Amino acid sequence: MGTSTSKPESQPSTYDEKSQLTNQNQLPVAVTPVSKDGSISLNTVALWESAASADPKLQLARIILSHSDIRSALASRSAHVADSHVFSHVLDFKTGPITDQKSSGRCWLFAATNIVRYNIMKKLNLKELQLSQSYLFFWDKLNKSNYYLEVIMQQADLPVDDRLVTFLSGDLIGDGGQWDMVVNLVENYGLVPQALYPESTHSSLSGPLNALLKTKLREDALILRRLAASLRSSYVSEEQVLLTLRAKKEELMKDVYNILTATLGTPPDTNSKFVWDYINADDKVGRWEGTPIEFYRTFGTKPYSPTESFSIINDPRNPYSKLYTVDKLGNVWGGRPILYVNTQAENMKNMVVKMIKAGLPVFFGCDVGKFSDSSSGIMDTALFEYESAFDIKFGLTKADRLQIQESSMTHAMVISGVHLDEAGKPVRYKVENSWGESAGNHGYFVMTDAWFEQFVYQIVVPKALAPKELVQVLESDEKVVLPPWDPMGALA
């Protein structure tokens, strides 16, 4: 496959077509600062205040915004009017209930299980169904803990303050994740209905559990590093070093398992059968019996198996039509790697429309905190009148935001509808969130096409529905390895 060079993409009207950064680089060299030593002088402040005092718009802003939330005070009325929750193409079956991840970062697990439940509910004619997000959460935490200790053992010869070691020991077992991590979990542990493994305090409120596990695992990391140094100083063979370290790691991981079962509950045995009784939309009782793996194989692999779906991203920093991965990123040790095929945003939009028309919900990753309002459920680059109120211009491109850490994937949701114009182009998208029914329009958000262009980074597509050239890139296995701290390593 040929590769196209990354280019800055066109910006919506909210952004200046000519980057402010470029204009600043063209300033005359002869300009002299008021403060030559770089400090903020009182003379400089006096000049700023003189200009502000003479500006009626800024004076009005000072009156209003000193006692108002800038998001509500500067909300665009025209955007709220334009962004109606009306869509020309929606899925032919509505799932429920609207899920709620509560005080946790499990959005990717909620989005993934909301995707999988669609066909289960349709097949069994159910009014409501939740798959157990907590079940996958348990196995993800256990495996991320193991993954962290394995990587630490690999890097035991590096100084403890090396950038890689300190980065890995930062948010080492965060709640977030990626599609390939979902595949690792369901392939190894299957799925169960939420009734078989319900929510607990610490699945819905993950902060205290995460803090405890991080303290434990960081201490375990030092224990393993010191053991590695001791073994190597005694000239033990590398094979025996690894075996001894792994034996010690298993001893330490037993404590992690005990913490997880005490706080989240002991999950159903992967290889033991359970009984699931349910009532369908006609009030008829149904019954299913089998293991979590059998449940997944029976209900979770139609019409397309999660293993046959892959992540397509839009990262304009890097060449398109290439395969990317992120170093040291994963959950199940030895499992499926995190892979992304990079393409233009327009290609992603076309695939979303194709999937919705085919009756398939779409998993996607985005930066939900930018130009969005959770109460109204609107994601629109024109949502707030910041530029008008402060007389400023935002000039960052999508690539700029990634490079300067202004933006990254922070949240995963599901696209369940799209509104097309007369030319067949998307205008807005219907989004199923996992913040409960009180957010947005009874749990649903509307995302404009301009917002998609700027803040959507990933969609997940079955190979059978993806462009052949992108599938070929995926299957070529010629990966570009991004560093662990790259923005594409952010977990939704």
Stated length of the chain? 492
The C-alpha atoms of residue 391 and residue 408 are separated, in whole angstroms, by 26
The C-alpha atoms of residue 178 and residue 457 are separated, in whole angstroms, by 12
In a 3-state reduction of DSSP, which class is residue 21?
helix
Give the Å distances, CA to CA, from 469 to 99, 343, 349, 382.
36, 11, 16, 34
Q: Kindly tell me the number of DSSP H helices and DSSP E strands found in the chain.
A: 18, 14
Q: What is the pLDDT of residue 1?
A: 41
Tokens of 368: 């939900």
DSSP 394: B
Q: What is the pLDDT of residue 6?
A: 35
Q: What is the pLDDT of residue 21?
A: 52
The C-alpha atoms of residue 362 and residue 368 are separated, in whole angstroms, by 16
Tokens of 464: 């059978």
Q: What is the pTM of this model?
A: 0.93
The C-alpha atoms of residue 287 and residue 163 are separated, in whole angstroms, by 53
- Kindly report, residue by residue over 151-161, the tens digit of the pLDDT: 999 999 999 99
Above 80 in pLDDT, residue 166? Answer: yes
How much is the mean pLDDT over the chain?
93
Q: What is the pLDDT of residue 29?
A: 67
CA 166 to chain centre: 22
Burial of 13 (0-12, 13-18, 19+ CB in 10 A): exposed
Tokens of 277: 């009784």
The C-alpha atoms of residue 206 and residue 109 are separated, in whole angstroms, by 14
The C-alpha atoms of residue 385 and residue 372 are separated, in whole angstroms, by 13
Answer yes or no: are the C-beta atoms of 61 and 389 closer than 8 Å.
Answer: yes
Give the angle subtended at the CA of 386 by the CAs of 61 and 63, to the nearest 5°: 10
Above 60 in pLDDT, residue 175? Answer: yes
- Kindly report, residue by residue over 447-458, the tens digit of the pLDDT: 999 999 999 999
Give the Å distances, CA to CA, from 316 to 345, 399, 441, 461.
9, 5, 32, 20
Give the Å distances, CA to CA, from 222 to 242, 260, 380, 401.
16, 21, 46, 36
Tokens of 89: 């193409």
Tokens of 276: 């699931």
Above 70 in pLDDT, residue 138? Answer: yes
Above 90 in pLDDT, residue 210? Answer: yes
Identify any residues that bridge with 418 across adjacent strands, giving them in sequence order: 89, 429
* Cβ partners under 8 Å of residue 443, min gap 6: 98, 432, 433, 435, 436, 437
Q: Which of 354, 403, 395 is nearest to 12 (CA)?
A: 395
What mean pLDDT is predicted for residues 306-334?
Answer: 98
Q: What is the pLDDT of residue 35?
A: 87
Q: Which of 418, 107, 94, 141 is nearest to 259 (CA)?
A: 141
Name all domains of the chain by residue range, CATH numbers in brackets. 83-482 (3.90.70.10)
Q: What is the pLDDT of residue 34?
A: 87
The C-alpha atoms of residue 54 and residue 47 are separated, in whole angstroms, by 11
The identity of residue 12, as a single letter, is P
Above 70 in pLDDT, residue 218? Answer: yes
Q: What is the pLDDT of residue 26?
A: 60
Contacts by residues 17-25 (CB-CB < 8 Å, ≥ 24 positions apart)? 18/395, 19/395, 19/396, 19/397, 19/400, 20/393, 20/394, 20/395, 21/395, 21/396, 21/400, 22/395, 23/395
- Kindly report, residue by residue over 5-41, the tens digit of the pLDDT: 333 333 333 434 344 454 555 656 678 888 889 999 9
What mean pLDDT is predicted for residues 47-56?
Answer: 94
In a 3-state reduction of DSSP, which class is residue 6?
coil
* Cβ partners under 8 Å of residue 7, min gap 6: 316
Q: What is the pLDDT of residue 32?
A: 87
Answer yes or no: are the C-beta atoms of 439 and 452 closer than 8 Å.
Answer: no
- Kindly report, residue by residue over 258-294, the tens digit of the pLDDT: 999 999 999 999 999 999 999 999 999 999 999 999 9
Q: What is the pLDDT of residue 28?
A: 60
The residues annotated with a catalytic role in the active site are 107, 411, 433
DSSP track, 190-238: ---BGGGS---HHHHB-HHHHHHHHHHHHHHHHHHHHHHHHHHHTT--H
Q: What is the pLDDT of residue 492?
A: 87
Answer yes or no: are the C-beta atoms of 52 and 350 closer than 8 Å.
Answer: no
- Kindly report, residue by residue over 399-441, the tens digit of the pLDDT: 999 999 999 999 999 999 999 999 999 999 999 999 999 999 9
What mean pLDDT is predicted for residues 364-383?
Answer: 97
Identify any residues that bridge with 415 across adjacent strands, giving them in sequence order: 362, 431
